[in-house]
Structure 1
C-alpha cells in the first residue's frame, strides 16, 4: 500500500511539473505576441534563389545577444527540420511541421557562426546565426546545417547590403 501511494505521489508530481511547464510556455508566448509583430511571410515574387538551398535543423530564435532567451510565440520555439533559401528579397526559413517565415533583406543585420543558442550547445562553431530586426526588436535565428562547409558562402551572402544579381 505504501509503495502504491508513493508511486501515485511521484506520478502526480511529474504531471504537475508538466502542467506548470506548459502553462509557463503559453504565458511566455502570449506576452511575446503582445510585443513582437507577426513574422513576415514569403512574398509572392521573391526572385531567383541566389544560393543552393541549405538543409538542416532550425534550432530556435532568441532575442539578440541573449542566447537563452527563446522566442516561443507563433511557433518560433519549435525546433525541427528546415530548409534555408536566399532570394534577393530576403531569407526564407521553410520549416517542416511548423510555420515557416521570411526575413526581409533589409531586416538582416549580420550573420555568423556560433556554438550556442537556446536548445543547442556545441563545442564547435557549427550553428549559423542570423541577426535580424522584427519591429523594434533584434532577434537571432539559429540553424544547424547538414553541410557546414557552405556556411562561409551563406555568411558572406547574408552580410552583403546590396544584391549584385544572380547566383554567386
Structure 2
C-alpha cells in the first residue's frame, strides 16, 4: 500500500511539473507578443536566387543578443527541418510542419556562425545565425544548422560586415 501511494504521489508530482512548464511557456509567449508582432509575409517577387538552397535544421529564434532567450510566440521557438535560400530581396526559410519565415534584405543586420543558439550547442561555428529586425523594431537571432557546413562561408561572406562577439554590426 505504501509503495502504491509513493507511485501515485510521484505521478501527481510529475504531472504538476509538466503543467507548470506549460504555464511558464504560455506566460513567456504572452510577454513576448507585443515585441514580436506580425512576421513579414513572403512577397510575390523574391528577386534573383543568389545562393543555392541549403537543407538542415531550423534551430529556433531568440531575442537578441541573448542566445538562450527563446521566442515562444507562434511556432518560432520550435525546431523543424528546413531549407534556407538567399534571394535578391531577402532570405526564405521554409520549415517542414511550420510557417515559412521571410527575412527581408533591408532588415538583416548580420549573418555569422556561432557555437550555439536557443539551447542547441554544437561544435565551433556549427550554427548559422541571422540577426534581423522585426517590423516592431525588435532584433532577433534566427539559427539554422546546415547539413553541409561548408556552405557557411558563402552565407557569411555575402553579408560581410564587421561584427563583435555579440553579433552587433559596427
Equivalent pairs counted in the alignment come to 160
Point out 4+ residue stretches in structure 1 off by more than 6 angstroms. Answer: none
C-alpha deviation, 1:60, in angstroms: 1.0
Taking the aligned partners of 2:22 and 2:148, their CA distance within structure 1 comes to 34
Equivalent runs, 1:4-43 vs 2, <5 Å: 4-43=4-43
Give me the TM-score of the superposition, normalised by structure 2: 0.90
Structure 1 residue runs without a partner (length 5+): 161-168
* Deviation sequence 1:56-94 (CA, Å, 0-9, x none): 000011111210111110210011101101111101111
Taking the aligned partners of 2:132 and 2:160, their CA distance within structure 1 comes to 11
Match of 1:121 in 2: 121
Question: Is residue 68 of structure 2 the alignment partner of residue 58 of structure 1?
Answer: no
Match of 1:154 in 2: 155
Question: Is residue 140 of structure 2 the alignment partner of residue 139 of structure 1?
Answer: yes
RMSD: 1.2
Structure 2 residue runs without a partner (length 5+): 162-170
Taking the aligned partners of 1:83 and 1:41, their CA distance within structure 2 comes to 17
